[in-house]
Amino acid sequence: MATKKQYYYGLGRRKTSTASSRLFAKGKGEILINDKTALDYFDGNEYLVARLQKPFVAISGENQFDVTIKTKGGGHSSQVDAIILAVSRSLAEFNDDYRSTLKRSGLIKRDPREKERNKPGLRRARRAEQFSKR
């Protein structure tokens, strides 16, 4: 931690979702997503909220930071993946020592898979009409 900042920024993307996070160094472990609590934003889905804790569990600092996140695009699951990447990047900016731990956990790497476009003459990206011999 070379300089003292008000917050640490991180950007994460997954499929068509984008999330930008602001990590505040001193906090009680609050996570706000689009000005709502995480549980309210994900309509009470505790599994998705638990997945948000992955970067904090990896560095063993669950209740040290407050995080505000702005996210848009995609569905809830891909938004969670984008948020995890954004928070991990902001934690790595906060402290360089966290970077290797997060990297070992696979949280710094972006998942490049996206939906393939539909090709002309096909029903879906690769699905063609069934072949008829006669």
Contact predicate 70/19, CB 8 Å: yes
Q: What are phi and psi of 31, to 5 degrees?
A: -120, 115
Q: Give me the residue label for tokens 């879906």.
A: 124
Q: Check residue 1 and give its pLDDT.
A: 47
Can you say how many angstroms the Cα of residue 101 is from the centroid of all Cα atoms in its chain?
Answer: 17
| Residue 21 to residues 66, 91, 117, 128, Cα–Cα distance (Å) | 10, 10, 29, 42
Report yes or no on whether pTM surpasses 0.85: yes
Query: Which residue numbers in the chain have pLDDT < 50?
Result: 1
pLDDT for residue 3: 61
DSSP code of residue 86? H
Judge contact between 48 and 128, C-beta under 8 A.
no
